């Protein structure tokens, strides 16, 4: 979720056929059944390929969904929420981590690294740039912090 910035509902709906390993992108279906293309980075690609190798060994039903439950159904939002919560509890973090935290973090980190707002809007699948602007508040704090630490006249 962090690598693609996808919504939890989009993750539930991903089918193996939605991933293009030759062109390194994944097709996500977002709100209102709108589709968008999101690049997959090299680490995600390696992890997905490893996961698919394991899935093919275990999955005799040939389920088209990328992530399936023990009952051979697409993984549900609540299951993803529990997986993320339990994984966060195993770390030393005291933060309240949930699925949207990963999407929010991806967006914030991209802005902090110089991604422009319009590109981020497309990446996140927002229909309006005003929705994407919510993420700029955090980066203003980051900008002030960097400025105060690095500018000689701060």
Sign (positive or negative) of CA dihedral 125, 129, 134, 140: positive
Q: Which residues contact 122 (CB under 8 A, 6 or more apart)?
A: 36
pLDDT one-digit tens code per residue, 102-150: 999 999 999 989 899 999 999 999 999 999 988 887 777 877 887 888 8
Q: What is the pLDDT of residue 106?
A: 94
Is 2 within the bounds of a domain?
Answer: no
Assign residue 69 the CATH number of its domain: 1.10.443.10
- The more confidently predicted of residues 44 and 92 is 44
Q: Is residue 114 part of a domain?
A: yes
11 vs 72: which has the higher pLDDT: 11
State the pLDDT at residue 60: 62
Burial status of residue 106 (CB atoms within 10 A of its CB: 0-12, 13-18, 19 or more): buried
Mean pLDDT, residues 25-35: 92
Arithmetic mean of pLDDT over the chain: 90
Structure confidence at residue 62 (pLDDT): 78
pLDDT for res 32: 87
Taking alpha carbons only, the member of 38, 34, 16 closest to residue 26 is 38
The pLDDT of residue 148 is 87
**Domain range enclosing 110:** 8-150
Residue 36 pLDDT exceeds 80: yes
Does residue 58 lie within any of the structural domains?
Answer: yes
Residue 59: per-residue pLDDT: 67
> Tell me: the pLDDT tens digits for 47-84?
999 999 888 767 666 789 999 998 889 999 999 999 99
Catalytic amino acids?
A: 7, 31, 100, 103, 126, 135
In a domain, 1, yes or no: no
Q: What is the DSSP letter of 76?
A: P
Q: Is residue 3 part of a domain?
A: no
With respect to residue 68, please indicate whether it lies within any of the assigned structural domains. Answer: yes
Into how many domains does the chain fold?
1
The predicted structure's pLDDT at residue 147: 83
92 found inside a domain: yes
Q: Which of 47, 76, 31, 78 is nearest to 67 (CA)?
A: 76
pLDDT of 77 reads 95
């Amino acid at each position: 979720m962090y690598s693609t910035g996808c919504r939890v509902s989009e993750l539930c709906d991903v089918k193996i056929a939605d991933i293009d390993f030759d062109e390194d992108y994944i097709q996500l279906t977002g709100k209102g059944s709108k589709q968008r293309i999101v690049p997959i980075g090299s680490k995600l690609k390696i992890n997905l390929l490893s996961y698919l190798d394991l899935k093919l060994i275990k999955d005799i039903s040939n389920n088209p969904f990328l992530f399936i439950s023990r009952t051979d159904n697409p993984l549900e939002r609540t299951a993803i929420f529990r997986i993320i919560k339990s994984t966060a509890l195993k770390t030393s973090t005291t933060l309240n981590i949930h699925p949207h935290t990963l999407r929010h973090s991806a967006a914030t980190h991209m802005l902090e690294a110089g991604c422009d707002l319009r590109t981020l809007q497309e990446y996140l699948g927002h229909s309006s740039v005003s929705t994407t602007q919510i993420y700029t508040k955090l980066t203003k704090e980051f900008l002030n912090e960097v400025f105060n630490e690095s500018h000689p006249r701060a």
